[in-house]
């Protein structure tokens, strides 16, 4: 089990991630990259922490009771670290930010966890605009929200403009129209992500050499900065892990020393009683 006492997946030491990756590859033959597996692991880890927090930390009991309620199969110090963080101001602030971000989200897709094929029943490739339309409608076919309906209308109008231009301008690339429309209507892609393509696809993989056209200005510099920040976090996480291990070893040795001292005290008292008799 991956330890839950790290504040974020970025703080998780590479040694833990690599061990989990190795366990998965030993059991399953997956035709995906290691990075994709680790990203999926990170999501599962965050989901697991969220469930544990909801089911055990949110109970109407005292902090001491929560600390004592260590789950089976989990090390006590890991559970206590997680509970202390959730109870801290930093933990409460992070939860508040997450709640605020979800409230600001205007619409989400209706696809759930299921995936969609790249081709429809007739063998035609499903474009990104079509995929947006499919995944943002209710079962009865209506848009899931007024915001989604507004986006659909904007995408439809923008596509009509491009098709009208393409009819008289041979330089327009039909295969790239969907990407340009989405970029104009919804804005640049987020760092490391491509809309409607899942978490395992990044801009370079999807767009190739033209990926810079769909990313925010200065995103390459931001990517380099993020890479350096991730390295710093990993170094700090490794140090924190070593400190935690030292604390556990120190506590164990202290307990063993105390037990030996109690044993010597009992033996001394027994010897004294024997001489008195």
Alpha helix ranges (H) inside 137-218 = 146-166, 177-186, 203-207
In contact, 87 and 63? CB cutoff 8 Å = yes
The candidate with the shortest Cα–Cα distance to 3, out of 15, 22, 16, 18, is 16
| Tens-place pLDDT, residues 29-64 | 887 888 888 888 999 999 999 999 999 999 999 999
Distances, alpha carbon 113 to alpha carbons 15, 109, 116, 158, 195, in Å: 29, 10, 10, 29, 15
Chain position carrying tokens 């393509």: 197
pTM for this one? 0.53
> What span, in angstroms and rounded, lies between the C-alpha atoms of 192 and 204?
9
pLDDT of residue 242: 74
Kindly list the distances between the CA atom of residue 16 and the CA atoms of 4, 40, 42, 210, 241, in Å, as whole numbers in the listed order. Answer: 11, 14, 11, 35, 10
Predicted local confidence at residue 119, as pLDDT:
47
Domain boundaries along the sequence of the chain: 9-105, 128-215
User: According to the model, what pLDDT value does residue 213 have?
Assistant: 58
Does residue 137 sit in helix, strand or coil? Answer: strand
Summarize pLDDT for 200-232 with one digit per residue, the tens.
677 777 776 565 555 554 545 565 666 677 667
Q: Supply the pLDDT for residue 122.
A: 60
Q: What are the pLDDT tens digits along the chain (277 aa)?
A: 789 999 889 889 999 999 999 999 999 888 788 888 888 899 999 999 999 999 999 999 999 999 999 988 899 999 999 999 999 999 898 888 877 777 666 666 655 554 444 545 565 667 788 888 888 888 888 888 888 899 999 999 988 888 888 777 777 666 678 888 888 888 877 766 777 776 667 777 777 656 555 555 454 556 566 667 766 766 776 677 677 777 888 888 888 888 888 888 777 776 666 555 5
Task: Calculate the dihedral angle through the C-alpha atoms of 99, 229, 217, 215, rounding to the nearest 10 degrees.
Answer: -70
């Amino acid at each position: 089990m991956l330890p839950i006492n790290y504040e974020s997946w970025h703080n998780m030491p590479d040694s833990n991630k690599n061990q989990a990756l190795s366990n998965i590859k030993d059991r399953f033959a997956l035709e995906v990259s290691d990075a994709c597996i680790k990203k999926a692991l990170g999501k599962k880890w965050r989901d697991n922490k969220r469930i544990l927090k909801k089911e055990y930390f949110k109970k109407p009991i005292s902090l001491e009771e929560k600390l004592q309620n260590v789950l089976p199969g989990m090390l006590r110090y890991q559970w206590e670290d997680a509970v202390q963080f959730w109870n801290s101001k930093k933990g409460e602030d992070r939860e508040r930010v997450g709640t605020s971000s979800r409230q600001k989200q205007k619409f989400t897709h209706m696809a759930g966890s299921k995936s969609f094929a790249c081709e429809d029943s007739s063998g035609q490739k499903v474009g990104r605009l079509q995929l947006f339309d499919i995944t943002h409608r209710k079962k009865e076919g209506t848009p899931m929200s007024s915001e989604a309906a507004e986006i659909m209308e904007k995408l439809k109008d923008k596509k009509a403009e491009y098709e009208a231009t393409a009819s008289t301008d041979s330089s327009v690339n039909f295969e790239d129209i969907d990407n340009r429309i989405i970029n104009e209507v919804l804005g640049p892609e987020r760092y490391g992500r491509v809309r409607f393509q899942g978490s395992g696809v990044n801009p370079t993989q999807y767009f190739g050499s033209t990926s810079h056209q769909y990313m925010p200005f200065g995103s390459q510099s931001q990517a380099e900065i993020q890479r350096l920040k991730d390295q710093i976090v990993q170094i700090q996480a490794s140090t924190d892990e070593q400190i935690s291990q030292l604390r556990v070893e120190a506590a164990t040795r202290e307990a063993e020393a105390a037990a030996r001292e109690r044993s010597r005290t009992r033996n001394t008292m027994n010897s004294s009683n024997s001489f008195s008799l």
